[in-house]
Structure 1
Amino acid sequence: MSVVAICLLAAIMAATMITYRNALKTSEETAAARLSLQVESFTNALDKYRLLAPLLARRPDVLAAFSSRMDEDDLEAALAEMVRISGMSDAAEIQLIYLDGTQISTYGNRLYRGQETKRDTLSRADIVQAMQGRLGRRFVDDGHDQFFVFSSAARINAKVAGVISIVVNLSSSQQLWALAPQPIIAAQDNVVMLSNRANWVQRELHHGGNRRGTKGLLVEKSLFGPTLIKPDFHQTALEAGLKYVTAEKKDYVLGWTFYALEPLKRPIYAAIVAFLFATSLSAIALGGLWIVSSRQVELLRQRRKDTANGLRLERRIRERTRELQKTQEGLIHSAKLAAIGQMSTVLNHEYNQPLMAIRTFSENAGLLFQSGKEEKGQENLKRIIAQVDKLSKLSKSLKSFARRPGIDICAVSVNAVVDESVMIMTPKARKCGVSLTVKKPEREVRVMAGHTRLEQVLVNLIANALDAIEDHRSRPDAKPASKPYGIEITYNRTETDAVIRVSDTGPGIDHSIEKSIFEPFVTSKARGVGLGLGLPIAYNLIKGFGGSLCLIDPPERGMATTFEITLPIAGDDAKLGAHSSEEVKPI
């Protein structure tokens, strides 16, 4: 926040300075536009008098008045023409100045024939300039009015015979300036000659703060370029202490420098407004950032709290999951043992039959060897070996089925799992009088699963089908089957999945429990016979492999119930998992 505050402070200062600079430039441009207009009107008013002096100096009647052979008639004619021109041009005075200092003047449109000789007249600046061949110029202030004098030499035979001067009253030109609300001044040699502020006239311009002992107008440069002027003398209460932004323009014909002034308070007010506006925005921005940061801190605190709660909850879920897995494993194993217990009678018959055959074949083999019939004795031995292999296969299947399942998932051969499941359930199916058939594809099918767990699912589905058929036949109201009961196992593969279907021709599943068949404790068996946990366990096992187990409409005619298992196909580079991948010590 401190860095943001410093950046905002810098932005406030930058905005204030930029606004102040732009306002200074605007005030300077406003003053320059006003100055251009006022100076142009002023100089245009004086231009006719500037040109009038050289024109009169070339008139024959004026030259006759300066001639040494002048007579009274020539002078009268010249003066009459001067009176006429003075009235037409609105000049304040026209003067004929002779080389001896004699001056003859006309005032307005009045004929004045008075003559006076002033030796110091020839030393006037405008007279000296005229006699040098230039246009003479001089400013005169008599304390009441201000005048400007244009002088031009009258030449006879290329020699100066006298000087004619046009005196212009500047009061009419100054009236245009009086309408301007802000100060306008005209200065010559850093002295104010004209102004629409009466108390500024004859004040000196002090550049760079150098006052030279008198109070006048202080001229200085601002930091951003425009020139500033501050009056250093007593003013009205409204103008006391004011500084002005200045635009200046030089007129080389008159030799004056004109200044138009605009109050500096306008740029200052603009800078203050910009400062207040920028400060308000910064305060709003800081408040918004504080609110956002406070919310972020609160969100971060809440997130940390939620993370801690989530970790605690996740730990509890893991613990509960481990407990559920142990419980599920116990239920699966219990279901296996229960299935083995239910098959004990059938298995007893399956074991006793080969054992009786082995005993019979062994006794016969002994008699045959005693009687010298060795070839027939060898045949009996081969039959004994075949019966032993049969018992070994049955024992291995039961042993694999009774193991506790592991948790690993690897490539499993569906062919092997189906063969072992059928071998386990064949004795019970034979006892129930149910045919158990398998339809195999041409090529081996391998899926990503657990060997023992997948075998448990198939055994459970086959056992459920056998139980449903046996329960249906044992009912008193059961109708005789139109065809033999049977269970069919089919499996095949697609591009991405393997599909295993277990179908039977039993009574089917009641429609009332079809949608909830995979929920715990939902069963169609009689009370006390089943807990309704076999299918939920099978469903979760298949889901754990990344597959699905569902009840579908039988795709083949004659079938009443079909369960479909979908499992992901194992890749070609997947290692085929042996039974030992899930083996632990058998119970």
Structure 2
Amino acid sequence: MPAGGFCRTMDAVTPSGASPPPGRPLRRRAGSLAAAALVLAAAAGAALLALPRIEEGLRQAARERGEVTLALAAQAIDQLVRRFDPIPELIAARPHLRGALASPGSATQVAFVNEQLRLTARAVGASDVVLVGLDGTVVAAASYREGATPIGRDVLHRPHVHSAARGRAAFFHAAGPEGEAGSFHFSAPVLDGIDVIGVVSVRIDLREIEAGWQDLRGEIALADEGGIIFMSSRPEWTFRTLAPLSEARRAEIAAARQFFPGRLRPLDAKLSPLSDGMVRIEMGAGQPGGGTGTADAGGIFLVSSAPVALPGWHAIVLEPLGPIEAQARRVLLGWAAGALALVLLLVALAQRIARRREIERSARAERDRLERRVRERTAELGAANGRLQREIAERRDAEARLKRTQEHLVQAGKLAALGKMSAALSHEINQPLAAIKSYASNAGAFLDRGREDEARENVRRIARMTDRVARISTHLRNFARRPDDALVAVDLRRAVEQALELMEPELRARGVRVAVDAPAAPLHAKGGEVRLQQVLVNILSNAVAAMGEADDPRIEIGITEADGPGGPAVEVTVRDHGPGLDPETADQLFEPFFSRRSDKRGLGLGLSISYNIVEDFGGTLDARTHPGGGAEFRIRLRPAGEGEAAAPLAVPA
């Protein structure tokens, strides 16, 4: 019976004006306290019996968190390996590398290869890219501007260089120069036909990945196939071993200069299974970071591991057990506090409290709870707003970095286009030079014989040949220079003509006929003349490659005015008579590193760079399969204002 009801019954039988017997309230209070103590003891016993189950549940939750962290760490390594594994083979296919390997003493060729490797390293995010001869000497490197450049070093002792020199792509991992976070090396052979003439090696610094692990829960480690911890969120665990190394393995590491032998000491760790199927590891008292081996010192952990993309490698996550045991004790104390609160509630219910006061107390508690929830929600919204501001700042920084990277890729794509046209243009220049030499010899002979009119005709022919060589040289220098960012009025017909002059040797060699349909009056668009030429050269080069061995290779170029959703525009269309575009190719055509060519030439950056250039002009670039056959590329640009004049292209001295 509730205490209030018991008291009301006693009041009913007590005569009016009389007081209850003085001993009865004391006995009632003593009985309530005894019952409360019994309930409290029962709750404490139940809590002690439930402690192992609480710890097991918390360990299971910790293991699930560790598996999430493990999946993130393994995914980061897998993505890194898949991203950089094909890069060395793509770089090794560049033809100018063979020239540097054939003439390592040529300062011009080596300087050109150094700059190409530097631009490539920046584009793909590599720490360094090196070109190595078969004797193991580094011929060129992306880090040629740095003080600690590897050019001239002998790296034949590295297993990945030795393996690639034998014609096999290889992977290698090693410690940094001063023992800091290590690096991955991806290598591939440079081939001349079927002969190996050198090695390309790409180095990836892992410090950023290791730093990113600091934001994840638990301690993370990456162990190689030999049981050596290659990366760890705890620096003192890096380059330690999970088991003692054999003398033969130590000798191999020393010969390859892979790690610092003094740091290759086994971890002093003890593994033991737990009742719930999990594994517990305890670091010894002398272990760095292990302290006395207690949970408070961070030396006792739950272990989870998973394989990564590299054969024999494993990612390991260790969740500290100390916080789990402390949390279990807190839960137990919470249960005890709850039991005590229950006892206090029973004691309170035993008292005669007016209903109004109880309602008022409940109302106050509810009001306090609502106010607390409002304060908590306000704090959460403030924190969310702070995170949003940080994300906005990070997005702006990322966009700025993307723009800088795009500018470098534009220049790299332009130099790649020049490299592909260099042989044909060299032949184009050599022909007028040979004619100039012949006309000069004949003019001297005519002067000796007194035939001055014929000598003057030879001199005029020499002047015309010289003008042709100068015009080719001017186009090359203008095309290779880094353009300004300002947009000016560009004559589309002149841009097309200059792009065709740059492509003329390749078009003539392939027997490609080009038809240009342009209005009589010039059409001007907002853009940059040099960068627009690069877009046209990239599209023409792809059109020539797409037609392959066609019986009648033709390219049709149109320059027109058009109306679009954004208002008036000017368009340049380039159509080839090849096989056209299939749907899958059309979806990926402008993505970086995508190429339709089967000869493995280039990195697949030309159309991606062209797309970004046209977008910078405020225009669009798209492609489709023409109804009459072949692929058609359309460049749509904003027209220049009536008061804007076409900017003349400066000729560098």
For Structure 1 versus Structure 2, the TM-score category normalised by the shorter chain is 0.3 to 0.5
Greater gyration radius? 1
